[in-house]
A and B are shown apart, each in its own frame.
Chain A
Amino acid sequence: MATVTGSKIRQLLRVPSLLSVSRDSHKHLINKRFCSHDVRRVTLIPGDGIGPEISESVKTIFAAAKAPIEWDQVDVTPIKAASGKYVIPPSAFESIKQNMVGLKGPLATPIGKGHVSMNLTLRKTFNLFANVRPCKSIDGYKTPYDGVDLVTIRENTEGEYSGIEHTVVDGVVQSIKLITRKASIRLAEYAFQYAVDNNRSSVTVVHKANIMRMSDGLFLKCFREVAQNFKNIQYSEVYLDTTCLQIVMDPGKFDVLVMPNLYGDILSDLCAGLVGGLGVTPSGNIGSDGIAIFEAVHGTAPDIAGEDKANPTALLLSAVMMLRHMELRSYADVIENATLDVIREGSALTKDLGGNGTCSDFTKAICDRLQSSD
């Protein structure tokens, strides 16, 4: 009878890469502690248009920073399953399920091809319930708004984007907004924990409960309940319109903002505009099984694809967010600081940031920065 001896087990466990490959229940991985030298595997979805080149830029920078990340590159273009439904390819699915963490470039949604948006497919497949966008003013990239340092957390599975619509009679359409206790509690728990983990002092819920009494009312009720378990975090509620008004007048006073789907979609883009747009804004999507996919939310920019003109900042900052999520904070800080230093210094900026540099120039400047601070 062949058995694996105790010493053989110890040998296996000593090999770093095996620690991140687990086919067991994924929940335990959320709390699993990794040593800083353990290499972690991350699924990389380069995407379309400028996606491949900015992904290469991120890989180069991570190598220069000696971050312990190995990339599993996959393509998520949906394929038609036997059932007739479009699904992401099994290899991509397995990779993400296994690695638990993904980094995604911009994806194009072709019109008229018959399949729904790939972003939507990913969201539904991995139950990515929270979209998190930290918006921080970038020193060296001036906008009319200074001192912005807020985070928007948006419920990403229900609300106004339930997709439940029907034509009641000709010329009369009804669209349903769905709010459930389950999704609202889940988001609340995530938001408060995020505030704790990231040293944020307050969580503010943005709502329209004066008009949507029951739906936003339920959302608020759930947040009030969960707030009881996080007494160290200041909790407040603000109307959506008041938030919009105040955020364009004094954005510096906002911290963590949480809201249902539609308000989140709008506010997160509004906040991105305050700090310079989607080209410099990171974003992360958190799933209920511990899976997290970080992404650049800008478009594929087909007009400059392949011309070395793209700005990798959004994807890079999303990758930094990813490192923090994986508790590789020291690498996150180092890479983020190098990136912000290069932007502040200003000589290697890409065109959208007001410079004349190429994507390679920008990448090289960051790598040089990393290597000189070793």
Chain B
Amino acid sequence: MARHVKTVLHKCGAPIDFEDIDIKDTPSAEAAIISLKRNGIGLKGTITTDISNPQSQSINAQIRRKLDLYSNIVPCKLLPGVRTRHNHVDLVVIRENTEGEYGSLEHENVDGVVESLKIITEKKSRRIAKFAFDYAVQNNRRKVTAIHKANIMKLADGLFLDTCRDVSKEYNDIEFESMIIDNCCMQMVTNPQQFDVMVMPNLYGNIVSHIGIGLVGGIGLVPGKNIGDKYAIFESGARNIGNDLVGLNRANPCGFLFASALMLRHLGLHGYANVIESAIWTTIKNGKCRTPDIHGDGTTVEFINAVVKEIDDTNLSNDATFSDQYLAVTY
């Protein structure tokens, strides 16, 4: 995937210089974090977590926490030409990414009795709620739905919900509603068109984003952004390894390519992002080189070549947002 993204970015002339950090041989987040702090922007592949050792922490989680990447955004939009069971799905999942159930705060007080702590704070709830509403405003979205289980977790999710409701008062133009997580999941498979921007604590975000990805065609198609106040990391929307597809040249690179386009937008390089995104949309719509996950029989390389050809055919010279200055990005 790394190679393919670099090929595409190079083709459209994007002024990005990659600093490669390899996690495979030395599974530690330290080198990655240092580089990210230096560059401010990263493009991340999927990193496995070794679950056999109860004490080891997920590298993904470490990076998110240390860089305070508090918002994970997964835009789930059905692309023209992709066949799924539902039409007109266009929702955005915004997930609080640093607290909630993912604090790794667990202990076994008595043999056979384990406690795991879920922490919800007013400060972080407010921060993510504000982020969600700002996102809605900036992206011309009309509604924000807060997802929770406050009927059962009255204090924790109750705090989250109350805070979201409080923040919504500052945004009169954006409709606010709330929905219980189990009902939300049921609604997503029966009537997903009703959702717009959705904001929620960590675990529910994990669940809802994966349902959203499934609704629009799978992990090969959807990008994800992790944003903090100072740093941003772009990746595929679902953090799945796809071990079964390694080296087989069948994986769908769209999710990753879209992530790189999101990264370019974040850097203000909208021209390049537009070119890449159009090229991907056109290639998918043409239907000839699609990978197996979207009902095609093309290979990854064929798809990339088709995208590159589309970029070639596009006139790059007229867009004022192109830049000559190279930007360093951690990969």
Tell me if chain B binds chain A: yes
Contact check, B112 vs A180: say whether CB atoms are below 8 A apart.
yes
Q: Is A84's CB within 8 Å of the partner chain B?
A: no
Contact check, A245 vs B152: say whether CB atoms are below 8 A apart.
no
Tell me if B's interface is mostly helix, strand, loop or mixed: mixed
Q: Is B206's CB within 8 Å of the partner chain A?
A: yes
Q: Please, which residues of chain B bring their CB within 8 A of the CB of A246?
A: 214
- Interface magnitude class on chain B: 35 or more
* CB nearest neighbor in B for A120: B152
Contact check, B190 vs A143: say whether CB atoms are below 8 A apart.
yes
**Which residue from A165, A209, A240, A245 sits with its C-beta under 8 Å from B214?**
A245
Q: Is A329's CB within 8 Å of the partner chain B?
A: no
Q: Please, which residues of chain A bring their CB within 8 A of the CB of B210?
A: 241-242, 244-245
- What is the 8 Å Cβ interface bit string for chain B, positions 49-73, against chain A (1 contact, 0 not)? 1010011101001000000000000
- Interface magnitude class on chain A: 35 or more
Question: Nearest chain B CB to A114's CB is how many angstroms away?
Answer: 15
In the bound assembly, the distance between CA atoms of A81 and B296 in angstroms comes to: 66
Q: Please, which residues of chain A bring their CB within 8 A of the CB of B240?
A: 241-242, 245
Contact check, B149 vs A262: say whether CB atoms are below 8 A apart.
yes
* CB nearest neighbor in A for B202: A211
The verdict on A266 contacting B182 (CB below 8 Å), with A177-B118, A215-B115 known, is: yes
**Which residue from B112, B187, B190 sits with its C-beta under 8 Å from A182?**
B112
Contact check, A245 vs B54: say whether CB atoms are below 8 A apart.
no
In the bound assembly, the distance between CA atoms of A240 and B240 in angstroms comes to: 12
Contact check, A177 vs B211: say whether CB atoms are below 8 A apart.
no
Contact check, B116 vs A214: say whether CB atoms are below 8 A apart.
yes
- What is the 8 Å Cβ interface bit string for chain A, positions 218-243, against chain B (1 contact, 0 not)? 10000000000000000000001110
- What is the 8 Å Cβ interface bit string for chain B, positions 104-126, against chain A (1 contact, 0 not)? 10111001111111111111000
Q: Is A247's CB within 8 Å of the partner chain B?
A: yes
The verdict on A277 contacting B117 (CB below 8 Å), with A245-B218, A246-B214 known, is: no
- What is the 8 Å Cβ interface bit string for chain A, positions 152-165, against chain B (1 contact, 0 not)? 00000000110101
In the bound assembly, the distance between CA atoms of A144 and B55 in angstroms comes to: 43
* CB nearest neighbor in A for B54: A213
In the bound assembly, the distance between CA atoms of A160 and B203 in angstroms comes to: 12
Q: Is B181's CB within 8 Å of the partner chain A?
A: yes
Q: Is A212's CB within 8 Å of the partner chain B?
A: yes
In the bound assembly, the distance between CA atoms of A320 and B203 in angstroms comes to: 35
Could you list some 22 contacts between A and B, CB below 8 A?
A163-B152, A165-B154, A170-B122, A171-B121, A173-B120, A173-B121, A175-B156, A177-B101, A177-B116, A178-B116, A179-B113, A210-B49, A213-B104, A240-B207, A241-B209, A242-B210, A244-B214, A245-B240, A265-B181, A274-B189, A277-B186, A278-B186
The 4 tightest CB contacts between A and B, nearest first, are A181-B112, A248-B214, A171-B122, A273-B186
A interface residues with partner B (beta carbon < 8 Å): 143-145, 160-161, 163, 165-167, 170-182, 208-215, 217-218, 240-242, 244-249, 262, 265-270, 272-274, 277-278
